[in-house]
Structure 1
Amino acid sequence: MDLAQECAAEAAGLTVPGLVRRNAEAYPERPALTAGEETLSWAELRTRVAEIARGLGALGLSPRERLLIMMTSRFEHWIADLAAAHVRAISCTAYHTLSPDQITYVATHSGASVVVLEGADEVARWRPALAASTTIRHVVVVDDDVDLPDDERFVRWADLAARGARLHGKDPAVLEKLTDEVVPGEPVAMMYTSGTTGDPKAVVLSHYNVLYEAVALDRLAPMDLHAPTIAYLPLAHVAERELAIYRALYKASHVFICADPSQVVSTLATVRPPSFFGVPRVWEKIAGVLKSVPDGADGLVKQLGLDGLSWPGSGSAPLPGPVRDFLAGLGVDVLEVWGMSETTGCATANVPGAAKPGTVGRPLPGIEIRIAEDGEILVRGPLVFLGYLQPDGSVREDTDEDGWLATGDIGAVDEDGFLTITDRKKELIITSSGKNVAPTKIEGMLRAHPLVGYAVAVGDQRPYLTALITLDEETAPGWAAARGITGTLTYLAGHPAVRAELDALLEEANGQLARAEQIKRYAILPEPWTAESGELTPTLKLRRRIIHDRYSADIASLYG
C-alpha cells in the first residue's frame, strides 16, 4: 500500500463528530482548548458540543441546512461549529470584517436558517441582512448583556445550551446516534472566498476532504499527539479551519486561542508549538521584529521559540524572497505551501527533508498536478472540494469531466516535481505592447523594505508599469525615527527622505527585473490599506479591482 492509499484508507473511516467522541473517550482529561486562563478538556468540550447540538436540533436545524457564525475566536466559536457537524448541518464562519452589505450578500446567498452572533456589534451589523433574508429562522446571540430586538427569532446562547443540556441529560444516546449517522462524504463546512475580483463564492467541503488533508499533512510532517498549536487567524480562513479544528481533532491537539492577532509573537514564545503557519504578512512582521535587534537576533529567535519549530509554514500568498532568506539566515527555514479553499487548504507543500526554496513544494499524497497549455495549474484528487453552493441550496461541481479543477494560478513544475507559482491568471498584467507581467513578483520585492506596507503594480493595457505604495504602520515610523524624522504616515508619505529611499528601492528592484517588468513611476499614498478600509481582503490579499477604482486619479497621474 503506497502513501496515498494509506491516507485514503485512514480518512475513509473518519468524521468530525467521530473524532470528537474518540478524543473525549480516549483522552478525557487532556486539554483541548485554552483561551486566556480557561481551558476545556476533551470531555468538557464534547459535553458543551452535545448541549449546543441538541439545542440546535430542537430549533429545527436539519442536515445540509446552513449555519452562519460571526464571532471572534473564543470557545463558543469552536462549539457552535462542531455542534453543527453533529446535526449534519453545514457551518460557515463569516469574516468579522464584512460590511453590512457584504453580510447581506452572504446571508441571502447561503440561504442560512440559523445564525450565531457574538454580541451587540454583530447584531447591529446584521440588521439589514436579517431584514432581507427569507430563510433565517433563528439568531443565537452569545453575549449575555445584549438587549435583544423585539424579534421572536432571537435566542440567547445560554438558553439554547440549557435546553440542549436538558435534552442530552434525558437521553444521551441521541448524541451517539447523531455521531454514528454522519457519513465521511457529506458536507461539513463552507467557506466564502475572499472575493479579490468579484462576488465571493461558497466553497463546500466534506468530512473526507478536511480529514484527508489532516492525515496527509501528518504523514509528511508528523506531529505528536496532544502537541500544542496556536489559533490566531479567522476561522473563516481555510488554513485556520484545517489546522485549528480538523488537524487538531485528528491529533487531539491542545489549541491555544490567540484572539488578538497582534499578540501572536508573544503567544509563540509562551506556547512554543512544534509547527506554526503564518501568512506572509505575519512572517514579514516577525522578520521586522528580528531586524530591530541586529545584535541580538539569534537570542530573540530562541526567546520566541522559533528555533524549536519543526515546520514553520507559509501560504495564502507568495512569501517575499528577501524575507525568506533573512529568516533562513537565522535558522528559521520557512517552508511555503500552496492551495486554496477549493483544495481544502494546501495541495502542495515543502516539508522538512523535502523542500526547495522559491517553490511551494510537491503535491500531497494522492494529489495530481497538471499544467495547462496557457500555464494554468490543474489539480485532481481527494482534496478537491464538493463544489460551490448555489442560491437554491444545491452544490455545483467545478471540475471537468475527468475531475480536474482549474485553479486560476499560473505555474510550472520542475524536474524534481516541485511546483513554482508565477501569478494569478486573472491578475497577469498585459501591457499595451503585449508583454505578460506577473505583478506579485514585483510587489513582493517592494514589500520586503521596512518602509513599505503594500504595493500594487499597475500597467494593464498601458505602455509601462507604475506602482501605488502605502507605508507600513508599524515599521515605517521606526525607520523614520532612526533618521531623526517623526510624524504621521501622511507626513512621512510626503517627506523627501522617504521619497529618496523609495527611489533607491525602485532602482535596485528594476535592476533585477526585465524591461517590461520595471516600474517607471510610483505614488506614495498617505493612508494605509486595511481590510476595514476595503483595499484588502480579510486574509490581507489585495483587492485589485477596488484599488484600481478608488485610486483611478492617482493612477491616471502616473501616466499623465
Structure 2
Amino acid sequence: MQQPQDNEFTRAEEIRKLRVIPELISHHLEIRGDDPAVCQFNAKTKQWETLSFKELYARALDWANAFVASGLKKGDRVAMLLPNGIDAVCFDQGALIVGLVPVPLHIIDTPANCAYILEDSDTKLLVTVNRARWHAIQATGADLSQLRTVVYIDDESEPESNEVRSVNVAEWLKEGESVLTLPPGPEEEDLAALVYTSGTTGKPKGVMLTHKNIMSDISALLYNIAPNPSDTWLSFLPLSHTFERTTSYYIGLGMGNKVTFSRGVARILDDLKLVRPSIMMSVPRVFEKVAAKINERLKQKGAVSRLVFNAAVDAGYRNFCRCNGLPVDSAVPAAFDRLMDPLYDKLVRNQIKNSFGGRMRVAVSGGAALSPEVAKTIIGLGIEIFQGYGMTETSPIISVNKIEANHPDTVGPILEGIEAKLGEKDELLVRGPQVMRGYWKRPEDTFKTLDPEGWLSTGDQADILPGNYLKIKGRIKEIIVTSTGEKVPPVDIEQAIETDPLFDQAMVYGDNRPFIVGLLVLNKDNFERFVVSLNLDPKDPEILTNKAVIREILKRIKTACKSFPQYGVPRSVLLLKEPWTIENDSLTPTLKLKRRVIVAEHGDEIEKLYENFGK
C-alpha cells in the first residue's frame, strides 16, 4: 500500500483544516506524536532537554488544569513575564486550551510598563520568573486589584496575603490534579491574545487578536514560505512579539518541526553553530551587526583580500538574482560565476554560512526595514534573507517574499486573502480575516484605525508593485519634512549610518528645520581607535565636540549615505556615548526609537547644532 505523501504542501493543508491554536499541537498526536517538538537549555542541569509533541501536549494539559483550579473562567486574562522556553509554550497552550486570553509581557520591559499592562488588561493571574520581578511591579503602585495569583517559576511560595497569592509553579501545577474534566475549549471568534503595542508615542494599546485572526495569517503565510518536514528552527526573538509567536512558535510547531529556544542574545552565535537551524526569524539589527563586523574586519585586510571578498559577494548576489527572476546588473556570464563559486565558497562564503550553522535555508527579517546594502552583502555570502512586513494589528504578517520569487527591494507579495489599497498620502490600507477585532477598552483609537468597512490604516506609506509586491516608504508620522519642503524617511538614513561600525545607534532629526542633523551613539572601542588614528587623545573631555573629529565623522556619514540625496544626509552631528535602551526609556520593548523622548532629552544640544552651524 502506497504511503501518503508527507511534505510542506501536505502539512500546510493539514493546518488549513484547523480552527483554533491548540489544534496546532494536538493534530500531531496520532500522526507524529513522538517526534521532537521543543528544546531548551536547562540552566540547572546544564543539559539540553527536548519534549515530543505528546509530552508537550500532556504538560500543556497540566497547565490547563491548574488554570481551572485557580478559579479562572473562559475569557479571563492571564499574563506571562517569562523568557522564551518550554514554560512559556505550556503557559500559552494551557491557557488557550481552556479559553483564557494570554497577555504576553516582554521579559526586558520596565516594571512600570508591565504594571500598566496588567492593570489595563484586568489580568487575574501572572506567571513570572521570580519574586523580584513581581515585587518590582508591585512597587509601582498600580491598581492591580483584579490580580489574584502570581506564579513563580524559580522561587518558592510566599506567605498568604490579603491582596495576591504568590505560589511556586510546582505547587500550583499540583493543585490542578484535582480537576477531573476541563471546560469546553475556545471558538474561532474567541480572543487568543491581548498583545500590547510598543507605544512609541504614548501608552501601549492592547490589540485584541482572535483564534481566527491568527490561524488565517498562518494559513496565508504558508503559501509564500512553507517549512518542509525536516526543517528545524532557532527561536530567539521574544515570544511577546506577535512576529515570533506566529512564526517560530505557531508555524514551527504547527508544521511538525523542532523548535529550539536560544539561551539568549549573548549566546546566539554559539546556539546557531550548535543547533544548526534551517529557518530563523530575525530583525534587521542582527544582520546589520553581522555586516558591520564584516566591514570592520575587511578594513584590516589587504587590497587583494578585499577584492576577493567583493567579487564573492557580487557573484553570489548575481546567482541569487538569476534564481529569483531579477535583472542581473552585470555582463559577467552565469557560467563564469558557476566556475568561480567553489573558490569563493572556500575563501569567503563558507565562513559566514558556518557562523549561521551551515544549514540556514530561510532567514526572515521583519519588524523594521533592512538596509539594501546589508541585504545584498548577506545574500551574496549565501544566507538568503526574506523580508516581510506586518503589524501586531494584522496578526501580524501582511506580506513576505516567496521562495524562488524573492525581491529584496520589497517586503514581498501581499498574502493571499488580504485586500490592500492606498489612501491619502499613499497610506497603505488593508482588510482581511487577519485584521484585529480592535483595541482593548479603546473604542476611539479603534475607530481612528479601523473604519466601518473593515479597512485598517497601517500608518505606513507604500507602493503596490506588479505581482502585488509591496514596497514600504516609511512611517507617515516619522517622515521628516524640512523647512525647504524636502521629505526624508529617517529610518533609511539611520540604517545606512549604522552600517559603519563606528556607530552603534543613529537618529536623524530635521522637521521644519533647514537641514538634517544626526544624533549618533558611538561604539566605544571603535571610536577610541578612530580618535587615535587622528593623533588625538580619546580621554580629552572635549573630544566629542572636537572639530577635527566632527569633520572626519561627517565624511564617513557622507560615504555611508552616498546613495541618498544630499538633502537627506546630516550636515551636523551630536556625538553621544550613552546608548539608548529600554531602561532609560529611549527604546520600546521592540527596540524602536522613542524619537520624542530622545529629542526632549537632547533638545538644547540640538538647538546649538543649528545655531552654531558654519561657525
The TM-score with structure 1 as length reference comes to 0.89
Computing the radius of gyration from Cα coordinates, the structure with the larger value is 2
Q: What corresponds to 2:5 in structure 1? A: none
Counterparts in 2 of 1:320-331, with a 5 A limit?
320-331=371-382
Who is 2:126 aligned against?
115
1:149-548 to 2 correspondence within 5 Å? 150-151=161-162, 152-167=164-179, 171=180, 174-175=181-182, 178=184, 181-225=185-229, 227-291=231-295, 294=298, 297-305=348-356, 308-390=359-441, 398-472=449-523, 493=544, 499-509=550-560, 511-548=562-599
Query: How far has the Cα of 1:433 moved from its partner?
Result: 3.1
Q: CA deviation at 1:154?
A: 1.9
Distance 1:148 1:424 in 2: 50
Which of 146, 157, 162 in structure 2 is aligned with 1:135? Answer: 146
Distance 2:424 2:188 in 1: 35
Query: Does 1:17 pair with 2:11?
Result: no
With over 3 angstroms needed to count, the CA separation of the structure-2 counterparts of 1:64 and 1:478, relative to structure 1, is: farther
Of 449-458 and 322-331, more deviation after overlay is shown by: 322-331
Q: Please give the per-residue CA displacement for 1:73-92, whole angstroms capped at 9, x wherever unaligned.
A: 23211111111101111101
In structure 2, relative to structure 1, the CA distance for the partners of 1:527 and 1:131 (3 Å cut) is closer
Deviation at 1:215, TM superposition (A): 2.4
Aligned equivalents of 1:488, 1:187: Cα separation in 2: 56
Specify the alignment match of 2:31 in structure 1. Answer: 26
What's the offset of the Cα at 1:10? 5.4
Alpha-carbon displacement from aligned partner over 1:57-108 (angstroms, at most 9, x marks no partner): 1112211111111122232111111111011111011112222322221111
CA contact (8 A) 1:388 1:396 kept: no
CA deviation string 1:388-418 (max 9, x = no partner): 11179x9989421222100001111223432
Instruction: Write the distance in 2 (CA, Å) between the matches of 1:487 and 1:160.
Output: 56
8 Å CA contact 1:450–1:472 kept in 2: the answer is yes
Counterpart amino acid of residue 533 in structure 1: N
Structure 2: distance between partners of 1:320 and 1:149? 53
**CA deviation map 1:127-186 (0-9, x unaligned):** 13575222112211221346567455222211111111343xxx3xx34x64xx321222
Check whether the contact 2:15–2:255 (CA below 8 A) recurs between aligned residues: no
Q: Is the 8 A contact 2:40 2:50 kept in 1?
A: yes
SS of equivalent residue, structure 2 residue 65: helix
Q: Secondary structure at the match of 2:208?
A: strand
Tell me the alpha carbon deviations over residues 444-475 of structure 1, each in whole angstroms, 9 at most, x when there is no partner: 22111111111111111222211101123686
Residue type of the alignment partner of 2:171: D
Partner of 1:3: none
8 A Cα contact 1:290 1:301, kept in partner: no
| Structure 1 contact 490–527 (Cα < 8 Å) conserved | no
Which residue does 2:102 correspond to in 1?
A: 91
Q: Which moved more, 1:127-136 or 1:443-452?
A: 127-136
Task: Give the 3 Å change call, closer, same or farther, for CA 403–196 of structure 1 in structure 2.
Answer: same
Distance 1:102 1:288, change over 3 A: same
Counterpart-to-counterpart distance in 2, 1:495 and 1:120? 48
Q: Of 79, 83, 86, which residue of structure 2 is paired with 1:72? A: 83
Question: Match of 1:126, SS?
Answer: helix
TM-score, normalising length: structure 2: 0.82
**Aligned residue pair count:** 546
Q: Distance in 2 between matches of 1:256 and 1:248?
A: 10
Report the Cα distance in structure 1 between the residues aligned to 2:208 and 2:526, rounded to whole angstroms: 39
Can you give the 5+ residue segments of structure 1 that lack an aligned partner in the other structure? 1-5
CA distance in 2, matches of 1:265, 1:140: 32
Work out whether residues 111 and 391 of structure 1, in 8 Å CA contact, stay in contact via their aligned partners in 2.
Answer: no
Instruction: Specify the SS of the correspondent of 2:266.
Output: helix
* Structure 2 CA distance for aligned equivalents of residues 403 and 322 of structure 1: 37
> 490-499 or 62-71: which moved more?
490-499
Letter in 1 for 2:210: S
Residues 1:554 and 2:605 are matched in the alignment: yes
Deviates more, 1:107-116 or 1:298-307: 298-307
Secondary structure of the residue that 1:316 maps to in structure 2?
A: coil
Q: CA deviation at 1:345?
A: 2.0
| Amino acid in the other structure paired with 2:516 | L
Is contact 2:77-2:122 (8 Å) kept? yes
Q: Which amino acid aligns with 2:136?
A: R
Question: Secondary structure at the residue paired with 2:389?
Answer: strand
The correspondence of residues 17-56 of structure 1 with structure 2, limited to 5 A, is 17-36=22-41, 37-56=48-67
**1:171-212: CA deviation from partner (whole Å, max 9, x where unpaired):** 3xx34x64xx32122211121111111111111111122222
Checking the alignment, whether the CA contact within 8 Å between 1:16 and 1:249 is kept in structure 2 is no
3-state DSSP class of the match of 1:220? Answer: coil
Measured in 2, the distance between the counterparts of 1:533 and 1:113 equals 29
Q: Spell out, residue by residue over 1:14-56, the C-alpha distance to the aligned partner (whole angstroms, 9 max, x if none).
A: 3122232222333232221111111122111112111111111
Instruction: Quickly say closer, same or farther: Cα 1:189–1:12, change in 2 above 3 A.
Output: farther
Offset from partner CA, 1:101-132 (integer Å, 9 cap, x none): 22221111111111112113212212135752
Contact 1:109 1:391 in 2 (8 A): no
Whole-Å Cα distance in 2 between the matches of residues 497 and 41 of structure 1? 61
